[in-house]
Amino acid sequence: MTWLITGGAGYIGSHVVKAMTDAGESVVVLDDLSTGRKERLPDGVPLEVGSVLDGELTGRVIERHSVTGIVHIAGKKQVAESVARPLHYYRENVEGLRTLLDAAVRADVARFVFSSSAAVYGMPDTDLVTERTPCLPLSPYGETKLAGERLVAAAGAAHSMATVSLRYFNVAGAVSPELGDDGVFNLVPMVFERLEAGESPRVFGADYPTADGTCVRDYIHVEDIASAHLAAVRRLTDDTTASLVLNIGRGEGVSVAEMITVIQDIAGRADLVPEVVERRPGDPARVVASAGRIREELGWTARHAVREMVASAWEGWRLRHL
Ligand code: WQD
């Protein structure tokens, strides 16, 4: 088996590459290096530089490396940017996927793992989100992920391809500083940035219908995300008829206020008092996974707690920014 990992030089992709190579899987990476960095790849992992939108290139890569399965992680992932640039998001995330699937089908690749997101659920009206909870995405980003899942399932059924779509909840942390996230668009790095500037962290709304009034999320260590991909790949190695959609979460809700307390503690800036500001438009009050189906289907559960996520993210942040 050789697995093609698209987006393998990115934050999540490079963790998946590490988990898979550590476990003895043969991998090749396709990445356009728009946000990825080749320094994130372990020695010896082949890197093909290019876009999934280039069907001829992906066809050649699949053939050259005798690829037997694909883990498709490449994509655009910023909710606000997707509102400003929906055409760009549909092109990159949906047309990119369609082009890749087309190349995969032409080359008889029989296994496909797709990176989806809890963004497909939108504003779920339930304590624990199961894979049967209705999907009503609130942003073009979430729509492209839902469209992607449906395309993956339909193409899998039509072309005898076993598929798994993995819905990531709120990813944080890193296994080592060099694999950390460079972006600053999520809670953990946004709070780091404020603390570093000597400013109070900002809480986007404290009047939500939750225990402390702040939004509740299911934060998951990127190393756990990576081990879930390994479990999916192993499943598809044996099971060539699978068609699965699975949450990757811990099943535990953590509020923004609780998260900020942990972040300040780890960053040694508990002195700064968080400031409550306006709600951010479109934020659901609570999005927490039911992690039951992935445990049943793949035998996978998360191992890392919130403190470890934040501590590992802080280590990388310090090295890169201070
Ligand atoms: C978490 C909570 C904020 C910053 C998004 C996408 C999701 C996935 C991850 C891509 C919210 C609050 C944040 C701050 C705050 N993306 N917050 N102060 O919005 O849950 O999920 O990113 O794959 O699909 O929707 O994540 O980290 O932006 O926010 O109070 O300075 O922290 O309002 O409640 P979110 P987030």
Q: Find the mean pLDDT for residues 290-314.
A: 97
Q: Find the mean pLDDT for residues 17-38.
A: 98
Distance in Å, CA 187 to ligand 1 centroid: 6
CA distances from 71 to 150, 169, 206, 211, 300 (A): 16, 18, 39, 38, 18
Residue ranges of domains in the chain? 2-171+220-248, 173-218+251-287+300-319
The residue whose CA has the least distance to atom 10 of ligand 1 is: 77
For the segment 59-112, what is each residue's pLDDT rounded down to a tens digit? Answer: 999 999 999 999 999 999 999 999 999 999 999 999 999 999 999 999 999 999
Burial class (CB in 10 A: 0-12, 13-18, 19+), 176: middle
pLDDT on residue 182: 82
Give domain 173-218+251-287+300-319's CATH number out of 3.40.50.200, 3.40.50.1220, 3.90.25.10, 3.40.50.300: 3.90.25.10
Phi/psi zone of residue 104: left (φ > 0), alpha (ψ -120 to 50 degrees), beta?
alpha
HEC profile for the chain? CEEEEECCCCHHHHHHHHHHHHCCCEEEEEECCCCCCHHHCCCCCCEEECCCCCHHHHHHHHHHCCCCEEEECCCCCCHHHHHHCHHHHHHHHHHHHHHHHHHHHHCCCCEEEEEEEHHHHCCCCCCCECCCCCCCCCCHHHHHHHHHHHHHHHHHHHCCCEEEEEEECEEECCCCHHHCCCCCCCHHHHHHHHHHCCCCCEEECCCCCCCCCCCEECEEEHHHHHHHHHHHHHHHHHCCCCEEEEEECCCCCEEHHHHHHHHHHHHCCCCCCCEEECCCCCCCCEECECCHHHHHHHCCCCCCCHHHHHHHHHHHHHHHHC
For residue 306, is pLDDT > 80?
yes
Residue 141 CA, closest ligand 1 atom number: 24
Percent of the chain with pLDDT over 90: 97
pLDDT on residue 184: 77
DSSP-derived pairing of the beta strands 254-255 and 216-217 = antiparallel
Fold for 2-171+220-248, please state it. Rossmann fold (3.40.50)
CA distances from 87 to 143, 231, 294 (A): 12, 34, 33
Q: Find the mean pLDDT for residues 238-254.
A: 97
Q: Which of 204, 210, 262, 277 to mutate to test the pocket of ligand 1 (most atoms within 8 A of CB)?
A: 204
Ligand 1 pocket residue status of 217, Cβ below 6 Å: yes
pLDDT on residue 93: 98
Q: Find the mean pLDDT for residues 122-139.
A: 97
Q: Which of 77, 166, 187, 275 to mutate to test the pocket of ligand 1 (most atoms within 8 A of CB)?
A: 187
Question: Average pLDDT over the chain, rounded to whole?
Answer: 97
Ligand 1 pocket residue status of 288, Cβ below 6 Å: no
For the segment 141-178, what is each residue's pLDDT rounded down to a tens digit? Answer: 999 999 999 999 999 999 999 999 999 999 999 999 99
Ligand 1 pocket residue status of 283, Cβ below 6 Å: yes
Structure tokens at 133: 């909870």
Measure the CA–CA gap between 212 and 192, rounded to whole angstroms: 22
Ligand 1 pocket residue status of 315, Cβ below 6 Å: no
Would you name the residues annotated as active-site residues? 141
For residue 246, is pLDDT > 90?
yes
Q: What is the ipTM of this complex?
A: 0.97
Single pTM value for the model: 0.97
pLDDT on residue 10: 97
Residue 119 CA, closest ligand 1 atom number: 24
Q: Which of 217, 247, 288 to mutate to test the pocket of ligand 1 (most atoms within 8 A of CB)?
A: 217
Distance in Å, CA 255 to ligand 1 centroid: 11
For residue 127, is pLDDT > 80?
yes
Which residues are bridge partners to 289 per DSSP? 129
Which residues are bridge partners to 129 per DSSP? 289
pLDDT on residue 296: 98
For the segment 179-238, what is each residue's pLDDT rounded down to a tens digit? Answer: 998 887 899 999 999 999 999 999 999 999 999 999 999 999 999 999 999 999 999 999
For residue 278, is pLDDT > 80?
yes
What is the residue whose two structure tokens read 């990159």? 92
Q: Find the mean pLDDT for residues 230-250.
A: 97
Residue 284 CA, closest ligand 1 atom number: 34
Ligand 1 pocket residue status of 215, Cβ below 6 Å: yes
